Structure formats: structure tokens, C-alpha cells
Structure 1
Amino acid sequence: MFRLILILAAPLFFFLSSGPAQAQAANCSFNVSNVDFGSVDTLAGAAVDTAATVSVSCMPVTGARVRACISLGAGSGGATAGLRHMLSGADILDYNLYQDAARTIPWGTRLDPSLGTPVALDFSGAGGTQNINVYGRVFGAQQAASAGLYTSSLTATDVMLNAVDYGGVPSDCSAIMTNTKTAGPVVVQAEIDANCFVAAQNIDFGNQGGLAADVDSTGEIDVTCTPGLGYTVALDNGLTGTGPTTRQMALGGDAITYGLYKDGARSQPWGVSGAQRLSGTGAGAAQTLPVYARVPAQTTPPAGTYSDTVVVTVEY
């Protein structure tokens, strides 16, 4: 008896998809310029923008294309809730770095997603160099920041590039951890200048039937200075006055004598000499300084509207 056995050997085929093949052989270099905001006037309350340059050169080793991912971290100033900080001693100035000129897409790092995402650059098989901007913004409404130089240093742990060769669909930057290159330090800095704003309210003594008795009134001067900044406020003698208590409101050839004072008792004249000035320290917000005015009893001049102009000077 013969037994015939026919064995059918089915060929086995393995299909490999052309997904994100990463041959970890890209050759890249890069550098990032410093981010300098220059002088920042925090009292103005507006944002201040600047830009720096990122230059990336890549050459694929395998002949495929290259994806390079550039990460920018928080730096020595740190970050809170996605906002980076520059420091001047214990004082903080908030800023951020962005991928776009509209400052809507934060430039971050794969190591800290709260800062945003890295920037991905793709290079053809021929390789080359790409120059792009990193856009910076110091946020407005930071009047509480004192004058001084604010800095943050982005070191090698903050400024990184990861790259891969690829032949199909490139991976997202969050998954590219090969061929790490670092740069830095990249210095981010801004100088807050000492500054003051001043606004004055007119003083009106009202309508008077005569000047046989003292007539008092008050006004206000609002001074806004950088926090911690010492300042003095001087009031000149007006157009024709000879001293802080002998200023004159005039109408033609006639005049009414009056004085301006620092205190409600009208005992401390407010003028231009050292002791007559009023001193203060800036707080980053408007400080209201009362001005106490007095027309002393005197001979009543002809009826009419009498006026004078006093110049307010803030020195710091």
C-alpha cells in the first residue's frame, strides 16, 4: 500500500508599511540669537515686542529628508502657568516666546508642554539652512515692576534640537528624541527705566464778593512713578509771583495774591527750593497729592476773572 501525501506550502508574506521610518542619522547644527527687548516703559501699560533669529542647518545622511525640532525652555527666570519670567533680584517681569508674529502660538519644549510646542522644520534630501524668527513679548500692565535690568538665561537644557531622517510621514516633535544638539546660553533681557507721569487739577476759588477774609480752596496733583523710585514735586511761583505764598492771579494790571501749601493748615509753603518741595516714593500707580491754596485777606481789586499758571515739576 502506498500513501501519497501532498503538502501545499502556502507562502507567507510580510508587508511593512512605510510609516514614520526614522533612521536617526540626520546631521544638524543650529544657533539662537539673544532676545533683547531694550528699554521697557512699564508705566505706559502696553506690551513691548521684539524678535530674535534661529538658524538651523541640516543634511540627511541616508539621502532621505530631515525633520528638525527646536525646543525653547523656561530659562533661569522660570515660568508659571506657561508664562516665562525675567528676574531683577526678587522682582519679576513676565514675557513669552512665540512661533508667529501675531504672538498667538507659544514656542515651547517637548520637556514641558505647558510652555507650548517645539517648532518643526523639514529639509529636503539636499539639506540646507533655514532662518526663522522667534517672537518675544513683554506683557503690558506690569506697573508694579521696579526699575532695573531684567534677565533670563536659556542654557543647554533649555535650547535643544532633535532631528531624524525620514522617508515617509515624519513623526510629531513630541516623539523625536534622537540626535540631540544643544545651544546657548541665550540671554533674554529688558531694561525698565525709571519714569514718572504727572497730571494736575485746576484750583478754583469760586466767585467772591470781597477779600476781607481768607479764601481757601484745594486741588490735586497725581504722580505715577516706577515702584521704589524717589521723587520730589516742585511748584514754581507762577507767571508773576515772587514766592510760594506771594503768587499772583492777574487781570490786566490788577492782581490777587495767593499761596499754595503742602498741608491743610496752610503752614508749609509749596515751592521750588529743597525744603519747599514735596517728596515721595513711586508705587507704580497714581499717588494723589493734595494742594492747599489760600487767598489771604487783602484789598479787593476790580471785579473780573483772575488767573495764573503754575508749572509742576517732578524730579527723580
Structure 2
Amino acid sequence: MQIDFLSKPMLAAAMLACLASGQVKAQSCSFGISGMSFGQIDTLSGAPADSSTSMSINCSGLPLARILICPGIGSGSGGATASARQLASGGNQLDYQLYVDSGRSVVWGSNSWPFAPGPPAYPLTLGVLGQGSGTVMIYGRLFGGQASAPPGSYLSSFSGSDVEVRYRYTASSDCSTSLGNVERPGFTVSATVPANCQVNTQDVDFGAQGVLATNIDATGGVDVTCTPGSAYTISLDGGNAAAPPTQREMSKGAETVIYGLYRDAARSQPWGSTVGTTVSGSGSGSGQSFTVYGRVPPQHTPSPGTYVDTVVVTVTY
């Protein structure tokens, strides 16, 4: 009996030690964040561009335990202001923001970043085998109205203190503390601004005329908006008759009226599509206006009616 009496407490102690070891099993989590790309951005359109990426979560620990995950995201290498994060290309910036929700209304913050609320809270309950995984979406918006951004590749890298994912066993949803284990998965946010131009035109209207015995002058216009620093050339084709710049033809059936288009008010510099007859410029991100000077020279007067020609404006950049 003495042998039995002494062995039972030893067995019980061994069982308790085993149980205690299982109760303190630490949680372990790994995270991965894919890069976010806004792709090619038409900064001249004035419209915002949306994108998204995801963070993968894989955790292990006590069966059925609840782990609180608090992923904080800071400024990134591109920097930030009180109203936006920034992508950088040399000394140039594009403003954008990261959000918790698909409606892009709740900014994704960090406890170490002063410009937004703290990190969002994501609870994860492990399964009966002590394993759990999930995916969290990160939403981005690149703001419109940034036509002054020059062409280039824009980037912000998140690493080190810019990404702080804390996690711990808790029933709380409080992510304002510095408690828990820390992982720092890196990722990038990028966008490309290509060279781009937009063009608008105003017709040249010579109005109602009688006998074509003297010069008849009128003007139209070409408005060009190009990304900053983008060199461009404006050419005007020969119209429906593919005629030289000063011998274009407005027509009504088989009848025609000869006219010319010019780059200067004196009507001495023809505006066409060959070398030496085009107009050049450099984009600024704002509209640039060019006057098209038209002239109908004296000529035989055809029968009354409406005479029309269509000239194609080409902006090469």
C-alpha cells in the first residue's frame, strides 16, 4: 500500500504538469500583404482611381482561443500629410489614401501614425486543432485633380516601423495598446503616370458672305492640355480635299471655296502637317490655347449655299 500511495501523487503531478504546459501554449501568427497597384493613371481626367490588396493571416495556438489582430499601417516611404499618403517619383508626389472599408470612408491608421485613427481590430477564433486563417482587404484610392503630376513611376514602400501587426490572446477588441507579439510584413503601393494630352477645338466660321472679292478673315482655336513636361506638336491635315494649307477647299457638291489656315494673325505662316508648318508646345498640366487664323482670298464666287470642310487636328506627344 505504501508503494501505491506514493505513486499516485507522482502520477497526478505529472498529469498536472502536462496540462499546465498545454495551457500556456503561445499563439503564433504570420502575415503577408500583396503589393497594391493603381496601374496607369489618367491625371488629366480629374477622376479618382481605386485599387485594393489583401493581407493573409495564418495563426496557431490553443484550440478555440480568440486572437485579436491589430494591423497598423503608417506613412510609407512616400510620406504623408494630414489629408493623404503620398506616392513619390523623384521630387514629385501623388496623393492617395488607404482605407479599412470598400466605401473608402475609414482611413487605415496606426498607433505610431498621427494622421488617422489607430489600427482596425480583427478577431480570429482558432479551430479545434488550434489553427486559424483569414484574409483582410485593404482598399486604396488615388485622388483626382492631380494634373500637375509629371509622367513617371510613383511608389511608396512600407517596411520596418511603417507596418506593425500586433496580436495576442484576448476577449477585448482594443487595438490602442502596445501589447502583444509583433510582425512587420512589407508591401508597396505604386502608380504610373504616362505622358498624355487632351485636345478641344473651336470651328472657323466665315459667316454669310456675298461676292468673294476681298479677303474674308475668321478665327478658330485649338486647346491642348498635356501632362507637365510632355513635348507636343499640333498639325492640321488638308481637309476633305487633302489640299495644301493655303489651298484648302470648302465644298458644296462639286462647287468649292478656296481658303487657308495660318498660325499667325498676318496670315503669313501656313498651318499644316509638314515640317515647318506645325505648332509645338510643352505640357504644364493646364490648358494651352492656340488661335487658328483662317482666310478666304478673293476668287470666283460659286452659287449660294453652305460650304463646309472638315480638318483633322492631330496632337503628337
TM > 0.5: yes
Correspondence for 1:229:
230
Shift of residue 62, structure 1, vs aligned partner: 9.2
CA contact (8 A) 2:123 2:173 kept: no
Give distance in 2, aligned partners of 1:98 and 1:274: 51
Correspondence 1:104-183 to 2 at 5 A: 104-126=105-127, 127-166=131-170, 169-183=171-185
CA contact (8 A) 2:108 2:119 kept: yes
1:74-122 superposed Cα distances (whole Å, 9 cap, x missing partner): 1000000141000111111011111111111111111114133312111
CA contact (8 A) 2:68 2:123 kept: yes
When residues 252 and 123 of structure 1 are mapped into structure 2, their CA distance, relative to the original with a 3 A threshold, is closer
CA contact (8 A) 1:60 1:165 kept: no
Q: Secondary structure at the match of 1:297?
A: coil
Shifted more, 241-250 versus 110-119: the winner is: 110-119
1:203-243 superposed Cα distances (whole Å, 9 cap, x missing partner): 11011111111000000111111111010010011111420
Correspondence 1:150-299 to 2 at 5 A: 150-166=154-170, 169-184=171-186, 186-299=187-300
Shift of residue 58, structure 1, vs aligned partner: 2.3
Q: Residue type matched to 2:147 in 1? A: Q
Larger fraction in helix: 2
CA contact (8 A) 1:25 1:164 kept: no
Q: Residue type matched to 1:174 in 2? A: S
When residues 85 and 24 of structure 1 are mapped into structure 2, their CA distance, relative to the original with a 3 A threshold, is farther
Correspondence 1:16-35 to 2 at 5 A: 25-35=26-36
Q: Does 1:89 align with 2:93?
A: no
TM-score if structure 1 supplies the norm length? Answer: 0.88
Shift of residue 25, structure 1, vs aligned partner: 4.4
Q: Secondary structure at the match of 1:274?
A: coil
Give distance in 1, aligned partners of 2:25 and 2:288: 62
Q: Secondary structure at the match of 1:153?
A: strand
Shift of residue 63, structure 1, vs aligned partner: 6.8
User: What RMSD in Å do the two structures reach over aligned CA positions?
Assistant: 1.7
1:121-162 superposed Cα distances (whole Å, 9 cap, x missing partner): 112243401101101111111111111110010112111111
1:244-271 superposed Cα distances (whole Å, 9 cap, x missing partner): 0000111122211110011111111000
Correspondence for 1:12:
none
Shift of residue 59, structure 1, vs aligned partner: 2.7
Give distance in 1, aligned partners of 2:204 and 2:37: 45
CA contact (8 A) 1:164 1:176 kept: no
Q: Residue type matched to 1:150 in 2? A: Y
Shift of residue 64, structure 1, vs aligned partner: 3.8
Give distance in 1, aligned partners of 2:106 and 2:65: 29
TM-score if structure 2 supplies the norm length? Answer: 0.88
CA contact (8 A) 1:62 1:165 kept: no
Correspondence for 1:20:
none
Listed as ranges, the gaps of 5+ residues in structure 2 are: 1-23
Moved over 6 A (4+): none
Shift of residue 176, structure 1, vs aligned partner: 3.5
- The number of residues matched between the two structures is 291
Give distance in 1, aligned partners of 2:25 and 2:291: 72
